[in-house]
Structure 1
């Protein structure tokens, strides 16, 4: 086995994220209508089953860094892929709620283990100067996976068992790729980097606020991820293949989420956070108001995809900045909060749909999103230090990673090779003058 270049690693990481997040996690909502009909499940049961992979995802994420440290990046990714392969295969053969639940639980474990494994590998073989860019490419894999699921839906239409069987085969190929290309080492911290400072009370308070906002966003977004396809088919009476265009729009718009998140970090995060939550609310209100209009529902999906991916990217950068030097904690807690919010939101929405109907349930969740948007001025600032011109210019995902390690003088750690190149360039500049 030879370590891949940074570019090949970014592509491989995006592909594995596409499998573990796009196919094993978010594609489930696409197949809710045929699964519900074939297995005779009620909306409340669908909501409960949809919460199971989110719970297993949280559990897997909590122990993922420990597994990566003990077993290494390659073994952790292989374990993740095997859970995904088995889970997708079990879903394809599900005969009722119980077997379906087992399959989605395995898929949740797959999702929770994959990103920590890839982060461990990235720290070992990718130059620190490229961590932010590589992370952006890998994060886009979620949208790519969602888009890949669309032709499968259009090809098999209501044959969801065949679709999930094909996903299992793809996941198996991903396992082979991880075994062939990922390193077996654990995360590497440079020996000349200063240890991370202790977490202050102010940092914990800001991280708590960030997690609460992430929980609220996850809670309201569960409505779209799980029940939007079912809404347009049940309430809007659109054909089954129309759901494929919904997810295509979500994935396509989600690819722009990384850019929007970076712009948010460069400008005013609280205001952008509020704007994206309002877009989230608008997407749910629009699809609830016009479920029979394919053009409007696709536009709604575009708005939702851009808003959701932008918000998750913003939470990632904020978490990294809030706890410099603690990659296993800062960005992990808000993502756990998003998943916990979705795990709570799915069964709640399922019960609301049974009691009040799709339109009223979606409208209520849209209203909650608006309320959270109104209190977004409480969204935490990313940096502990005072804002000055130098700090304001040093923004974006790459800058967030650059500030993860510091040297003994408290300056951002850039590595010996980069420091030597910088000093050489400065010396040459002085000589020229």
Structure 2
């Protein structure tokens, strides 16, 4: 007898895990290099180009603007071309934009190219995460999303070790050489993604992996208006996360160098440790939310994030920095993982991509505003301590909002 929901060929590894692995590899580039390497690059870019804190924030905003464009287009484009083509094409787009950044020293050109990088980033993240709703039943959906979100951690480790050790070569500044190296990595991963990713388990003769639910996801007695209210409520929470997390990853390395007086090599090592810890954050909180429910999982995650932000929110205290890095690493990708799993759980696998697109749009709005406000606030105060303290307060607010969610699993 075939084990329902596991595999038609039970002695073989279910292909869902291959798709999750390919999604994680894509996320190494789509987030780890296209987004988070920027925080590691920013000190050397600022030094060579004379960028202010505000201009650094504007570059971060440019990336988020591109990300928002991708999220707006995804519901129109993704059903037509599928996850496999979408992820592959956007990885190629990221590689090309990085090559462009390696060839310029113009701030305006960098802004334009980083918009393109943001488009590619959003074009990788949404399909790579939402396709897990097709390949996994809710019993393992949080774990699967967590595995995919382990990818950015590897990208952060790469940038943390590579960037501080770069030197000018081949007529390129150190940061330009870094973007060129990352472009080659993204091109290689594009080939891998095209080879391994499949849009639906039907193409491999599989059912989704996991335990089939008694009631199909998205078929709960919630009315359409109740689902809309739930989507808006979740969007507000995701926007808060987007603002505070993007602020942190954009400027924490700059804070290490400017406020904590660390050398770039040591700052890079700490950044790499954050990347290492973050590999496990999505898996950890994916499993937690599978066990205790999505809203409680979010509340626990925001509690950890709040302590992380507040630990660096009151001036240069080295133990606080170490505590902050450790806790942020352990909870870094918790909220995106839980949101991705929730999209399939609450709105059904067929509507998961559209629900996640709406949630990610709110998330991207928060990401776009967080670094800009923090950059200009830092110019007034002299550092980012006040921004981190405000982030801690916002995370506390998000704990309450998470617990107030009226979800189909509200009994958990």
Calculate the TM-score normalised by the size of structure 1: 0.77
CA distance in 1, matches of 2:339, 2:122: 17
Q: Which structure is higher in RCO with an 8 Å CA cutoff and minimum separation 6?
A: 2
The unaligned stretches of length 5 or more in structure 1 are 393-433
Which of 152, 157, 164 lines up with 1:142 in the alignment? 152
Which of 30, 37, 42 lines up with 2:47 in the alignment? 37
CA distance in 2, matches of 1:273, 1:348: 25
Higher mean C-alpha displacement, 71-80 vs 264-273: 264-273
CA change 1:334–1:73 in 2 (3 A) is closer
The unaligned stretches of length 5 or more in structure 2 are 1-13, 169-173, 208-214
Which of 341, 345, 356 lines up with 1:321 in the alignment? 345
1:142 shift after superposition: 1.8
Deviations 1:100-121 (A, max 9, x none): 1122111111111113444687
1:196 shift after superposition: 6.6
Contact in 1 for aligned 2:20/2:148 (Cα 8 Å): yes
CA change 1:94–1:150 in 2 (3 A) is same
CA change 1:5–1:92 in 2 (3 A) is same
1:51 shift after superposition: 1.2
The equivalent residue for 2:120 is 110
State the secondary structure of the residue aligned to 2:264: coil
The equivalent residue for 2:106 is 96
The equivalent residue for 1:239 is 263
State the secondary structure of the residue aligned to 2:355: coil
CA distance in 2, matches of 1:284, 1:130: 32
- Rg comparison, structure with higher value: 1
CA change 1:206–1:65 in 2 (3 A) is closer
The equivalent residue for 1:163 is 178
Which of 221, 229, 236 lines up with 1:212 in the alignment? 236
1:210 shift after superposition: 0.9
Higher mean C-alpha displacement, 195-204 vs 59-68: 195-204
Which of 4, 7, 23 lines up with 2:33 in the alignment? 23
Question: How is 1:305-316 mapped onto 2 (pairs within 5 angstroms)?
Answer: 305-316=329-340
CA distance in 1, matches of 2:129, 2:386: 41
CA distance in 2, matches of 1:48, 1:107: 14
Which of 224, 246, 255 lines up with 1:200 in the alignment? 224
Calculate the TM-score normalised by the size of structure 2: 0.81
CA distance in 2, matches of 1:344, 1:185: 35
Question: How is 1:2-401 mapped onto 2 (pairs within 5 angstroms)?
Answer: 5-118=15-128, 132=141, 134-156=144-166, 159-183=174-198, 200-257=224-281, 258-267=283-292, 269-289=294-314, 291=316, 293=318, 296-325=320-349, 326-358=351-383, 359-378=385-404, 380-383=405-408, 387=411
1:333 shift after superposition: 2.5
CA distance in 2, matches of 1:305, 1:33: 21
State the secondary structure of the residue aligned to 2:348: coil
1:187 shift after superposition: 9.3
CA change 1:340–1:12 in 2 (3 A) is same
- What CA RMSD, in Å, does the superposition of the two structures yield over aligned residues? 3.2
State the secondary structure of the residue aligned to 2:120: helix
The equivalent residue for 2:211 is none
Contact in 1 for aligned 2:127/2:353 (Cα 8 Å): no
Contact in 2 for aligned 1:253/1:306 (Cα 8 Å): yes
